[in-house]
Amino acid sequence: MLIFAASDKGGTGRSVTSANLAYHRALAGDDVCYLDFDFGSPTAVAVFDVADAREAAEDRGLHAYLIGEVSEPERIDVWAKTEHQVLRDPPPGCGRLVLMPGDVSGGEFATTDDNLRRCVDLLMKLYHEFDLVIVDLSAGRSYAVDMALEATAQPEMSELTARWLVFHRWTRQHVAAAASLVFGRRGIVAGGVHRGHDEEALRGAIRFVRAAVPDPESPLWSQVSPTQSAWMRKTDGDLKQLASTAGIGYSQVLGSVPLEPVLQWREQLITDEDVLDSQIANQETWTALSRLAARLTDDKYWEEA
């Protein structure tokens, strides 16, 4: 399966969350490939802790591949190359976890026929090799998003299952922005239809993910005053109403990830060690990520509305 991760703005939690989803699926036994198509600000190398491997790979990343400078993008075997101690010892039975990094020097670029061709070739090849291919796309209606829409609209890609996750934070502006990224006049759906996607099918393949959602009931806020607490509950309720009105209500949400202090401080994978042994991360975060990871391929959550 192909999963595209999009968001209207930067800083939504798209990259960090989707990397954690890749990690969870690999732990569960899937062979997973994570592609950093966030050409403006590639971050996956930091999240997976593979800076040295990236260094060794020079500029042979996805950007160089798509513009035809190298014949194959670099692959980094995360379990083998990570500098993160816990990740170096994956449990028996886990699947492969491969990162295809972006390029340090790569910026955005236009979708030419040749670039598109190479993109299709790559996605197809990886689809036949991995159980799950997760593609992190630059924020907004970027070239990366256009390329993903264009690539998946090609007739030879029609056999592939592709799904879209749209990440947003839990604020008024982010909710409105996410809705317009998908349903707006220049949104993903309109752009997809323009490129030949079937509207129904494309809509059915898009779900939203609410990232870094503060839970008014969380112990994090146990010290706030009753007035503050009441305000938070009210605002949370208003946001739910707003999301629903904007067409990204409950039925369109694949899941949410709670505000996690560790991620607030540092872009990283949350391991079971962080949750169980050192207990620096919250159990709820782990559970939410794990549930979200399972839903990626659970058709129940993807039935067309």
Partner 1 sequence: MTAALGQSARSVLACGEVRTCLLPSFQALDGRAAAQLLRLRADEHVRVSERPTMYALSPEVLTGVDCRLPTSNGSKVRAVGTVIARAALTEGRLLQSTAYFSAPAAGPDTRRPWGQYLVRPGLVEPFGKLPQQATVEGVLRGAGRGELDLGTIAEGLLTQLRRHALLDRRVPFKSRPTHLRWVARRQPEGERASLTNFTVAEGGLRTMELRLPEDVPAAAAAGLCEDLALHDWLLTTVQQMLDNSRIGAADGPSVVEALHPVVVHLLHLWMPRAHVDAALGHLWDVLEEKPGFSRQWEKLSRRIRDRLALQAVTMPHQAFSPR
DSSP category for residue 274: I
Residues near ligand ADP, by CB under 6 A? 7, 10-17, 43, 167, 211-212, 257, 259-260, 263-264, 267
Identify what 55 binds: partner 1, ligand ADP, Mg ion, none; CB under 5 to 8 Å per kind. Answer: none
167: helix, coil or strand? strand
Identify what 272 binds: partner 1, ligand ADP, Mg ion, none; CB under 5 to 8 Å per kind. Answer: none
Report the first-to-last Cα separation within the chain, whole angstroms.
Answer: 21
Residues near partner 1, by CB under 8 A? 28-29, 31, 58, 60, 69-72, 75, 77, 80, 92-94, 121, 124-125, 128-131, 156, 159, 294
The C-alpha atoms of residue 293 and residue 295 are separated, in whole angstroms, by: 5
Least distance CB 72 / ligand ADP (angstroms): 25
Least distance CB 102 / ligand ADP (angstroms): 12
What does the angle CA 257 – CA 258 – CA 261 come to, to the nearest 5 degrees? Answer: 120
Identify what 131 binds: Mg ion, partner 1, ligand ADP, none; CB under 5 to 8 Å per kind. Answer: partner 1
Closer of 17 and 153 to ligand ADP (Cβ)? 17
Closer of 43 and 82 to Mg ion (Cβ)? 43
Residues 6 or more apart whose Cβ sits within 8 Å of residue 119 = 66, 147, 151
Give whole-number Cα distances, 242 to 159, 208, 211, 250, 274, in Å: 36, 14, 16, 11, 34
Identify what 60 binds: ligand ADP, Mg ion, partner 1, none; CB under 5 to 8 Å per kind. Answer: partner 1
Residues near Mg ion, by CB under 5 A? 15, 38, 43
Burial classification of residue 289, based on how many CB atoms lie within 10 Å of its CB (0-12 exposed, 13-18 middle, 19 or more buried): buried
Least distance CB 156 / partner 1 (angstroms): 6
Least distance CB 11 / Mg ion (angstroms): 8
The C-alpha atoms of residue 268 and residue 264 are separated, in whole angstroms, by: 10
